[in-house]
DNA sequence: TTGTAAGCGTTATCAT
DNA sequence: ATGATAACGCTTACAA
C-alpha cells in the first residue's frame, strides 16, 4: 500500500557510498559555484558512484528547499485543437534548453473549472504562466487576481482586446488586409464574407483590415454578401457555421467569385457547401481561410490561407515569461500586445475568376 | 532575484492566525480520517481563515512528506499529432476525478532524447507511466530498464508487437478486415492498397486482416495493385507517400475502383493524386482511410475511415496504470495487449463503383 | 479534541 | 577542500 519513495536512491545514499558528506555531493552534482574548490578526483568519484547507484534527485525536495520549481505553467484551452497545439510546441521548444519544464493543464474548453486549474498551477509553484487561448476562450475575471499579485502572466493566441493583459497575437488587421489583397490581385471583385462572431475582437480586427483594404482600393463590400457566425462554444462549430452561412449566401443568388472565411475550419465548411451546390473550388469560387491549421495543406484542393506563426507566437510568449520570472515582479511594465506578422500561404483554393 | 516562496501563505501562517496547531489545520484541510474528531466549529473556523489568507498547499512539500506525488507521467511522441492528442484527452478525462495529475512530456518525435525525458519524469516521482506512441515511434531498449523495476508502464496507440510491454491498441486486424469488407459490400472487386512501412506491425496486422477477409470471400488481391510505403521519420510523410504511391498506381494503368490507405493522411494523399489525375473521389475511385483523425470529417469529400477509439484507448490505459500504481509492483502480471474494436465511419469518399 | 515533534530529500550557511 | 547543521512546508505517529 505504501509505495515507498525509499525505492529511490537518495543523496545521502550516494554520500555514504562515496565516503563524503551530503553537502559535498550536492555541490558536485549541481556544479554549484563552490564546486570549483572541490578536488577533481573527488568530483569524478562522486559522479561515478552517483551514476553507479542510479541516483536521480528528487524534484520535490529540491524545489522545496531551493524555492524554485523551475517550471512554467501552461494553461491550454483545448489540447485537441491544432491551433493550441502548435503554439504549445513553440513553447516547448523554447523551454527545452532553459532547464524549465512546462506544466501543462488542459481546460477542455470549460471556463468554469478555470479557477481550479489555475489553483493547481499555483500549488505547483510555477514561476510564470502562459495561457494558450483559442477563439472559444471568453475572458474571465480570474486573471486580474493573478495580475494584481503581478505574477508573470501572458496570453497567447487570442486578442482579448484588454490592455491590462499582456498578450502575443497575430496582427489580425494585417491578416484581413492581406487576405483581401490576395483575392483582389487575382482579379476578384465580387467577394463574399463569412465573419466570426460579433464580439470576437480577432474577427473584428480582421474585418477592419479588410475594410481598410477595400476603402484604399475603391472596392465596395456589399453587405448583402456578408455573413456573421454566432458565438459558439463547440470547437467544431466553425465548420458547421461555414457550411450553413455559405449555403445561405449561395441561396441568396447574389453572384460572388470568391469567399473569405473567418478561419480554416469555416473555410472548409464553405468548400463543402460550394461543392455540394454542384460548384467547384476554385474553378467557380475561390476560398481563403485563416490560421494555416494542419488541415489546410492536406485537403484537396489545398487551402489558401493566412498563416498565423503559431510556433513563433509560443516562442515569443515564452521568452517574455522567462524574462519576467527571472527579473522579479517589479518589472512588469505592461507593454502593449506583441503582434506577429501573418503570411498568406497561396495554395490551390484560390485562382483568378473565369471571365 | 530571489523570488521567495515566502510570498506564499503557509500552513503555519494559517495555524497561527486561526489559533490552532499546524497538525490540526493540516488534518482539517485534508479531510483526513482524524478530522472526524475535530469540533465542527474548529473546522469551520480553520477553513475560513485558510480561505481568507489565500492559503494554497505547497505541492512539493506535500509530495515530499507524503511520499506520493499524485501524478502520472505521460510521455507523448508528438503533441502536434492529432492522434496523440486525442488519446491524451482520453487520459486527461479519466484522470480528472481521481486527484491525479498528468505530467506531460513531449518527445518531439526525437528518439534520442527519450531517456532524458524519462529521467525527468522519474525525478518528478510520477507514480505510473503512460507512453503515447504514434506510428513513428520505434521501440527503444529504454523501457526494459523501467520494466525490470516493475514500474507501472503502459504503451498506448502503437502495437509494438512485444509481449513484455503492456499496451492498449486498436484491433488492427479487425480494422483491416472491416475496411475491405466495407468496400466489398459496396461492390468493389478491383481494389488498390497503399500499405504502411514493412516493419510496422500495425500495418502488417491490418494487411493480415484484409487478406483474411479476401480469402474468406474468394477475393483475389492482385499484388500489382499493392504499394508499400518506406519507413519514415517525418510526421507528414504519410501524405507524401500516399500521393506518390497512388500516382504510381495510376500510372500503372491497372484499373481499380477503390483504394485502401494505411491511414487518413495517406488517404488524403491518395485523394490528391486521384484528383490531380483528373479523376474524382468517389465517382471514379473510392478511398478509405484509417484512424478517423479530425481531418477526415472536414475535408471534402468527407473521408470514409476506420475509426480508432482514441479517447477510449487513453481511458483504458489510464485505468490500468492507476490500478497498478495503487496495487503495488507485485501485481504486474503482464497481461496481453488490450485491444479495442475499430468502427467504420462511412462518409462520402466511398460509394459503389459505377458499372 | 487538540498539540508536539520528527522527518521526507534537498540546499545553503556556516565552520573547520 | 570538506563537513555539520539548519531550514524549506508539510504529514503523521504519538502524547496530552
The pLDDT tens digits of the residues spanning B257-272 come to 999 999 999 999 999 9
DSSP structure class, residue A315: H
Whole-number pLDDT of residue A100:
96
CB A197 within 8 A of CB A231: yes
**Are the C-beta atoms of B353 and B182 separated by less than 8 Å?**
no
Q: How far is the C-alpha of B235 from the C-alpha of B240, rounded, in Å? A: 10
Query: Which segment, A148-162, A330-344, B102-116, B151-165, is predicted with the most confidence on average?
Result: B102-116
Q: Which pLDDT belongs to residue A337?
A: 78
Chain-chain contact of A108 with B92 (C-beta, under 8 angstroms): yes
Q: Are residues B177 and B297 in the same domain?
A: yes
With respect to residue A353, please indicate whether it lies within any of the assigned structural domains: no
Cβ of residue B66 near strand D, that is under 7 Å?
yes
Same domain as A194, residue A156: no
Residues of A in contact with B271 (CB under 8 A): 300
- Considering the domain architecture, whether residues A121 and A270 belong to the same structural domain is answered as no
Stretch B167-181: mean pLDDT? 97
Identify the pLDDT of residue B256. Answer: 97
Return the percentage of chain B with pLDDT > 70, whole number: 92
Does the distance separating the beta carbons of A328 and B1 come in below 8 Å? yes
Q: Beta A258-261 vs A304-307: how paired, if at all?
A: unpaired
The C-alpha cell 521548444 sits at A93
Per the structure, the complete domain to which residue B83 belongs is given by 69-170+310-340
In angstroms, how far is D15 C1' from B15 CA?
20
Cβ distance of A69 and B86 shorter than 8 Å: no
Q: Is the CB of B70 under 7 A from strand D?
A: no
Residues B179 and B231 in one domain: yes
CA–CA dist B85, B79 (Å, integer): 6
pLDDT at B4 over 70: no
Instruction: Identify whether residues A186 and A303 lie together within a single domain.
Output: yes
Instruction: Assess whether B177 and B187 both reside in one domain.
Output: yes
Q: Within a domain: residue B5?
A: no
Residue B332 has pLDDT above 80, yes or no: no
Q: By percentage, how much of chain B surpasses pLDDT 90?
A: 77
Residue B2 has what pLDDT? 32
Q: In the structure, how far is the CA atom of residue A8 from the C1' atom of nucleotide D7, in angstroms? A: 23
Whether B210 and B231 map to the same domain: the answer is yes
Question: Which stretches of chain A drop beneath a pLDDT of 50?
Answer: 1-6
- Nearest by CB to A92, which of B61, B106, B300? B106
Q: B3: Cβ under 7 Å from strand D?
A: no
Could you give the 3-state DSSP secondary structure of residue A270?
A: helix
- What residues have CB less than 8 Å from A355, skipping those under 6 apart? none
Q: Which residue has the cell 507521467?
A: B73
Q: Which residues contact A148 (CB under 8 A, 6 or more apart)?
A: none
Q: Which of A191, A246, A200, A243 is nearest to A222 (CA)?
A: A191
User: Considering the domain boundaries, does residue B347 fall inside one?
Assistant: no
Same domain for A324 and A293: no
The answer to whether residues B258 and B353 touch, using CB atoms and an 8 Å cutoff, is yes
> How far from A141 is each of A112, A162, A239, B2, CA to CA, in Å?
11, 12, 29, 29
Dist. CA B83–CA B317, nearest whole Å: 15
Residue A134 is predicted with a pLDDT of 86
Whether B97 is covered by a domain: the verdict is yes
Domain stop point among A266, A291, A308:
A308
**What are B286's strand-pairing partners?**
B258
Give the pLDDT mean for B71-84. 95
Contacts of B89 (CB under 8 A, 6+ apart): A79, A80, A106, A108, B310, B311, B314
B119 compared with B232, residue with greater pLDDT: B119
How many domains does chain B divide into? 3
Per-residue confidence (pLDDT) for residue A336, from 0 to 100: 64
Instruction: List chain D nucleotides near protein: any atom < 7 Å from a Cβ.
Output: 1-14
Distance B24 CA to D16 C1' (A): 14
- pLDDT at position A6: 44
Q: Under an 8 A CB cutoff, do B68 and A328 touch? A: no
Task: Assess whether pLDDT exceeds 70 at residue B92.
Answer: yes
- Residue B78 inside a domain? The answer is yes
Distance CA(A259)–CA(A269), nearest Å, equals 12
List the single protein residue with the shortest CA to C1' distance from C7.
B65
User: For residue A234, is it within any domain?
Assistant: yes
Q: Nearest Cβ partner of B124 from A3, A59, A301? A: A59
Q: What's the farthest any 2 CA atoms get from each other in chain B?
A: 87
Q: Please state, rounded to an integer, the average pLDDT across all residues of chain B.
A: 91
What confidence category does residue B87 fall into, taking pLDDT thresholds of 50, 70 and 90? very high
Considering all nucleic acid strands, name the nucleotide whose C1' atom is nearest to the C-alpha of residue B8: D9
CATH number at residue A37: 1.10.260
CB A244 within 8 A of CB A276: no
CATH number for the domain harbouring residue A180: 3.40.50.2300
Closest residue in A to B92 (Cα) is: A106
CB contact under 8 A, B60 and A59: yes
Q: CA of B225 to nearest chain A CA: how many angstroms apart?
A: 23
Residue B355 has pLDDT above 70, yes or no: no
Question: Which residue is associated with the grid cell 487570442?
Answer: A158
Sign, CA torsion A10/B165/B321/A117:
positive
B141: confidence class by pLDDT, cuts 50, 70, 90: low
Shortest CA distance to A262 belongs to which of A226, A310, A311, A313? A226
Would you place residue B110 in the very low, low, confident or very high pLDDT band (cuts 50, 70, 90)? confident
Of B59, B89, B298, nearest to A239 by CB-CB distance is B298
Maximum Cα interatomic distance, chain A, rounded to a whole number of Å:
88
Residue A234 per-residue DSSP state: S
A184 within domain boundaries: yes
CA distance B150 to B148: 5
State whether residue A269 is helix, strand or coil. Answer: helix
Contact B239 A298 (CB under 8 A): yes
d(C-alpha B341, C-alpha A78), whole Å: 26
Q: Are residues A252 and A322 in the same domain?
A: no
Q: What is the pLDDT at residue A140?
A: 63
CA distance B149 to B318: 20
pLDDT for A1: 28
Q: Are strands B129-132 and B101-106 parallel, antiparallel or unpaired?
A: unpaired
Residue B46 binned pLDDT confidence (cut-offs 50, 70, 90): very high
Q: Encode B148-180: b = buried (16+ Cβ within 10 Å), e = exposed.
A: eeebbbbbbbbbbeeeebbbbbbbbbbbbbbbb
B265, B239 contact by CB (below 8 A): yes
Q: Greater confidence, B288 or B37?
A: B288
Asked if pLDDT for residue B334 goes beyond 70, the answer is no
The pTM (predicted TM-score) of the whole model is: 0.94
Q: What pLDDT is stored for residue B1 in this prediction? A: 27
User: Are residue A21 and residue A135 in the same domain, yes or no?
Assistant: no
**So what's the pLDDT on residue B199?**
87
Q: Are residues B198 and B77 in the same domain?
A: no
Please tell me the predicted confidence (pLDDT) of residue A190: 97
pLDDT of residue B327: 80
Cα dist. B161→B165, B217, B314, B333 in Å? 9, 28, 19, 18
B299 vs A contacts (CB less than 8 Å)? 268, 295, 298-300
Residues 91-110 of A with CB under 7 A from strand D: none
**Residues B94 and B242 grouped into a single domain:** no
Domain contains A349? no
Amino acid at each position: 500500500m505504501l509505495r515507498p519513495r525509499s525505492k529511490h536512491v537518495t543523496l545521502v545514499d550516494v554520500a555514504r557510498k562515496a565516503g563524503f558528506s551530503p553537502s559535498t555531493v550536492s555541490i558536485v552534482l549541481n556544479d554549484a559555484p563552490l564546486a570549483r574548490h572541490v578536488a577533481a578526483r573527488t568530483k569524478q568519484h562522486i559522479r561515478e558512484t552517483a551514476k553507479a547507484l542510479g541516483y536521480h534527485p528528487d524534484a520535490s525536495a529540491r524545489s522545496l528547499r531551493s524555492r524554485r520549481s523551475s517550471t512554467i505553467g501552461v494553461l491550454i484551452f483545448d489540447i485537441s485543437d491544432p491551433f493550441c497545439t502548435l503554439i504549445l510546441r513553440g513553447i516547448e521548444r523554447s523551454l527545452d534548453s532553459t532547464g524549465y519544464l512546462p506544466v501543462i493543464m488542459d481546460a477542455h474548453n470549460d471556463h468554469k473549472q478555470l479557477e481550479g486549474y489555475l489553483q493547481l498551477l499555483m500549488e505547483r509553484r510555477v514561476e510564470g504562466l502562459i495561457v494558450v487561448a483559442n477563439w472559444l476562450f471568453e475572458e474571465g475575471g480570474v486573471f486580474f487576481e493573478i495580475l494584481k499579485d503581478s505574477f508573470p502572466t501572458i496570453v497567447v493566441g487570442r486578442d482579448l482586446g484588454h490592455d491590462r493583459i499582456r498578450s502575443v497575437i497575430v496582427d489580425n488587421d494585417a491578416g484581413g488586409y492581406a487576405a483581401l489583397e490576395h483575392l483582389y490581385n487575382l482579379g476578384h471583385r465580387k467577394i463574399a464574407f463569412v465573419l466570426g462572431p460579433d464580439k470576437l475582437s480577432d474577427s473584428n480586427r480582421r474585418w477592419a483590415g479588410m475594410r481598410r483594404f477595400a476603402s484604399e482600393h475603391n472596392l465596395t463590400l456589399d453587405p448583402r454578401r456578408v455573413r456573421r457566425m454566432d458565438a459558439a462554444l463547440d470547437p467544431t462549430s466553425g465548420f458547421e457555421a461555414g457550411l450553413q452561412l455559405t449555403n445561405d449566401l449561395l441561396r441568396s443568388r447574389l453572384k460572388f467569385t470568391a469567399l473569405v472565411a473567418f478561419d480554416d475550419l469555416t473555410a472548409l465548411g464553405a468548400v463543402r457547401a460550394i461543392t455540394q451546390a454542384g460548384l467547384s473550388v476554385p474553378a467557380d469560387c475561390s476560398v481563403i481561410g485563416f490560421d494555416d491549421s494542419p488541415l489546410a495543406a492536406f485537403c484537396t484542393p489545398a487551402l489558401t490561407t493566412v498563416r498565423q506563426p503559431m510556433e513563433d507566437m509560443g516562442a515569443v510568449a515564452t521568452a517574455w515569461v522567462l524574462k519576467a520570472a527571472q527579473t522579479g515582479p517589479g518589472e512588469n511594465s505592461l507593454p502593449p500586445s506583441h503582434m506577429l506578422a501573418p503570411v498568406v500561404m497561396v495554395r490551390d483554393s484560390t485562382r483568378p475568376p473565369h471571365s
